[in-house]
A and B are shown apart, each in its own frame.
Chain A
Amino acid sequence: MSTEYNKPLPVPQKWSQEFWKGTKDHKFLLKKCKDCGNIDHPPYYYCTECMSLEHEWVEASGKGTIYTYSTTYMGAPPVFTKEQPFTLAMIDLAEGPRMLSRIVDAGPEEIKIGADVEVVFEDVTEDTTLVMFRLVK
């Protein structure tokens, strides 16, 4: 599979490697500050609230709601044009952070702001798994 995949893969920072190790095991991890409890997503070097370097990776529920979305029919970067139309969305996670992802297994007309979604792990290569979402039916 990895030889065929020609789309851009995430290039982790040192402090986000745990996230991508997690997704490979189909675990959705978030970086939580041990001092103030803040969750940073995307994670950064130190806690962006209190500057603490102490953190833990907590498993997210995988639940969220659609804050906004858009279905792309044309004009995506060339390596993605064959997949058009596809729907990108911002998901408000139950744990607080908002993240960008894709909605899978749904027609564009089914997708609405405020809809409940749950995580799906997409193994795009042997080494990389992306976090995507599907509608809770």
Chain B
Amino acid sequence: MSKGQFAIIGTGEVPCGWYPDRSHLEIASMAAYLAIKDAGINKDDIDGVLGQMSIMGNDWNTEVTFGRLPEALGIKNCKTTALVSSGGASSHSIRKAAEGLLISGHDMVLCVHSQRFSEFTPGQLAEGFAKAGCDPEWEIPYGMSFNALGAMVTQRYCYETGTTVEQVGSVCVAARKWALLQDNAMNKKDLTLEQVMGSRMVSTPLTAFMCNVLADGGSAFIMTTAERAKKLVDKPVYILGEGSRYSHRNLTKAKDLTRIVTKPAADEAYNKSGLGPEDMDIAQIYASYPVFTLMIFEDMGFCKRGEAGKYFMDGNTMPGGKMPVCTNGEALSFGHTGTGVGTALLVESVRQLQGKAGRAQVPGARFLIEDCGGGAFMDVHCAVLGNEIP
């Protein structure tokens, strides 16, 4: 991919939360409808439709695999449809698949994510996520859970850097401030550090408010080549540089548990874009647990190792702060929609750079870095996006 070769021209999103009456197809249809209307294109110009895997939603995954989306969305000129996933890194893999289509005979690709969790009990979800995050032979028999994974990383990161648990908790407070500016966010009430620290202990040192709340939701975006995008919309959002690294499946095999593999991925994305952390107006960090926000923020070059905790605690990343982080409230406050957390962040990134972010709009945002990562923190994919090609 060369710099600014591809662009996103429109996005759509449904409210995130507990909506038992809303089906997978309904979420996908609403998100796609909004994205097509937002881009202002004719739906018949779309010739590729990609769906993102739903966690535990096997029937929906089968539907997407067997071609439901183009038929339901009336994409008459569709040439290719497929289901794409790499866990939490799905916003990256679906974008890569779309780019592959665009360089091989397709003009415009619609990417759709749809997730329901409301059909499951809390116990089923704990078990389902344990299976997704942990090894069935070497970890699950010990009672491993996704929260315990996040907790063990937090424990080690605090031990190595001297970061306090309160500083980790301050990430959740900042996330909530942003979510309050988002109409589609699940959480609508302010959250204080006292509430975060005083909530029930889940897995030491993580309290309930430091863990994600799973929710139903979905979003969609439309991708095309930069050349085409310029003719179609006022402000296409260009992909200026990307970098990816894989680390492990089992967390015990992580190359470095308290850094994951962000730095080389971020450096690669910056290098390709010709920009650096000093040029970024926003950092959209896929974390899911607050400790990852801190370590990824550091490895994206915004703070020295071990200094992010204080930076967050001082309020620098909140609305109106020096360096806005996760302007949709991320999984912690917007809501965790399975493989869609990264997609929601990508969609919010595009809205910010198109000046369509409403109350959460960061004035004059031109460039930002976003990342996603999946599994038990198995990989990191960073992308620098911009509304101009520098």
- A residues near B (Cβ < 8 Å) are 7-13, 16, 42, 67-78, 80, 83, 86, 88-90, 97-102, 108, 113, 124, 130, 132
Contacts and interface: CB of A to CB of B under 8 A. Distances in A.
B377 to A, nearest CB: 13
Contacts of B139: 100
A89 B135 CA distance: 14
Nearest to B143: A80
A136 B127 CA distance: 32
A73 B138 CA distance: 21
Contacts of B126: 75-78
Contacts of B142: 88, 100-102, 130, 132
Given A88-B144, A99-B252, A73 B152 contact: no
Contact of B143 (A72, A97, A98, A108): A72
A68 B156 contact: yes
Nearest to B138: A42
A86 B152 CA distance: 13
B155 interface: yes
B390 interface: no
14 contacts: A8-B141, A9-B141, A42-B138, A68-B152, A70-B152, A72-B148, A72-B202, A73-B204, A76-B143, A86-B143, A90-B152, A90-B257, A100-B251, A102-B143
**Nearest 3 CB-CB pairs, A to B?**
A70-B151, A80-B143, A78-B123
Interface in B169-225: 200-206, 208, 211
Nearest to A130: B141
B138 A100 contact: yes
B203 A70 contact: yes
Interface of B: 123, 126-127, 130, 135-145, 147-148, 151-153, 155-156, 159, 200-206, 208, 211, 250-253, 257
A108 B204 contact: yes
A78 B127 contact: yes
A74 B127 contact: no
Given A10-B138, A113-B156, A72 B145 contact: yes
A99 B139 CA distance: 9
A72 B203 contact: yes
A20 to B, nearest CB: 9
B138 A68 contact: no
B206 to A, nearest CB: 8
Nearest to A20: B137
A122 to B, nearest CB: 10
A77 B141 contact: no
Contacts of A86: 143
B137 A11 contact: yes
Of A86, A90, A102, A124, which is in contact with the most chain B CB atoms at under 10 Å from its CB? Answer: A90
Contacts of B211: 75
Contacts of B205: 70
A132 to B, nearest CB: 8
Contacts of A90: 152, 251-252, 257
A99 B138 contact: yes
B1 to A, nearest CB: 30
A75 B148 CA distance: 9
A13 B138 CA distance: 11
Contacts of A7: 141, 143
Contacts of B204: 70-71, 73, 108
B136 A11 contact: yes
Contacts of A10: 136-138, 141
B198 to A, nearest CB: 14
A100 B133 CA distance: 13
Given A75-B126, A86-B143, A67 B136 contact: no
Nearest to A91: B252
A78 B124 CA distance: 8
A97 B138 CA distance: 13
B127 to A, nearest CB: 4
A85 B157 CA distance: 22
B141 A75 contact: no
Contacts of A99: 138, 252
Contacts of B252: 90, 97-100
B145 A75 contact: yes
A74 B202 contact: yes
Nearest to A132: B142
Nearest to B146: A75
Nearest to A111: B204
Nearest to B123: A78
B159 to A, nearest CB: 5
Contacts of A108: 204
B293 to A, nearest CB: 18
Given A73-B202, A108-B204, A113-B156, 8 more contacts: A10-B137, A11-B136, A42-B250, A68-B152, A76-B143, A88-B144, A98-B252, A102-B143
